[in-house]
Amino acid sequence: MTTHFFGDTAVLTGRSLRHIARSLDTIITTVLTPIALMLLFVYVLGGAIKSGSDSYVQYLLPGILLITIASGISYTAYRLFLDLKTGIFERFQSMPIARSSVLWAHVLTSVVANLVSLVVVVLVAVVMGFRTGASVFAWLGVAGILTLVTLALTWLAVIPGLTAKSVDGASAFSYPLIFLPFVSSAFVPTDTMPRPVRWFAENQPVTSIVNAIRDLFTGQPVGSGIWVALAWCAGILMVAYVFAMAAYRRKIA
């Protein structure tokens, strides 16, 4: 039964990845949009922003990576919604495949596609002057955090993908996720913000995650901050998974 599940999931994941490769608008949104934001902030606005870092791209990159993920996972909800509306889900349910493999294929597709997008964004940042003395273990830590963030937000995206009434509703949920980094330490230090905004910025998950990634890149002691970031990711992942699976069971019942 386990082998059956993994085989079915692998086949369906390959199907979803081929669809992404053929979709130019997906590539533009998930890769070019974050790169355009990075270019804008570094070369247009960066000179006016006091980040406390010698190079603004060093400070900016962790936040851009989160925006890249938020842009990418909106397509998970979009693809799920289309599969439901076009009857693909019903067709798969009539076939001798593991039922949960259909959903897991979308989740794994999101993880793979987002990791590719993240690599491209990091390479562009290097061209723009990003440098780090991070060790291999620090890079593995960054990769682990970003993968966990992708999983958490992907399962969050599954919920509107299964429950939305329109294609716009399925993908619109990601807009707050994209804008959340702007009210965090992703672009400017939180101590430059008015007190109510600063309180929100310092107590929302993006700031904890961004700070943990930034500390890993710069070789600074991460302290308890990384555990706060991981706790946010794990908490969002568990809650989103429970609600997503509940919505999925209602759909296939």
The count of structural domains within the chain is: 1
Give, in order, the Cα–Cα distances in Å from 34 to each of 43, 62, 216.
Answer: 14, 11, 21
Q: How confident is the model at residue 238 (pLDDT cuts 50, 70, 90)?
A: very high
Phi then psi for residue 2, to 5 deg, are -65, -45
**CB proximity list for 211: less than 8 A, separation 6 or greater:** 62, 185, 225, 229
Judge whether 247 and 159 are in contact, CB under 8 Å. yes
Query: Which among 184, 202, 102, 112 is positioned nearest to 150, based on CA atoms?
Result: 112
Query: Which among 184, 231, 179, 26 is positioned nearest to 110, based on CA atoms?
Result: 26
Domain that holds residue 128: 2-252
**CB proximity list for 209: less than 8 A, separation 6 or greater:** 62, 66, 145, 149, 229, 232, 233
- What token pair was written down for 217? 């890149």
Judge whether 190 and 207 are in contact, CB under 8 Å. yes
The CA dihedral of 122, 127, 129, 130, to the nearest 10 degrees, is 10
The mean pLDDT of the chain is 84
pLDDT at 201: 93
In this prediction, residues 67-85 reach a mean pLDDT of: 83
The whole model's pTM is what? 0.89
Give, in order, the Cα–Cα distances in Å from 53 to each of 36, 49, 74, 118, 136.
Answer: 21, 10, 32, 22, 23
pLDDT for 158-175, tens place per residue?
A: 888 888 888 777 777 777
pLDDT at 4: 65
d(CA 146, CA 157): 16
Give, in order, the Cα–Cα distances in Å from 165 to each of 72, 156, 168, 169, 171.
Answer: 21, 17, 9, 7, 11
The residue ranking higher by pLDDT, 250 or 194, is 194
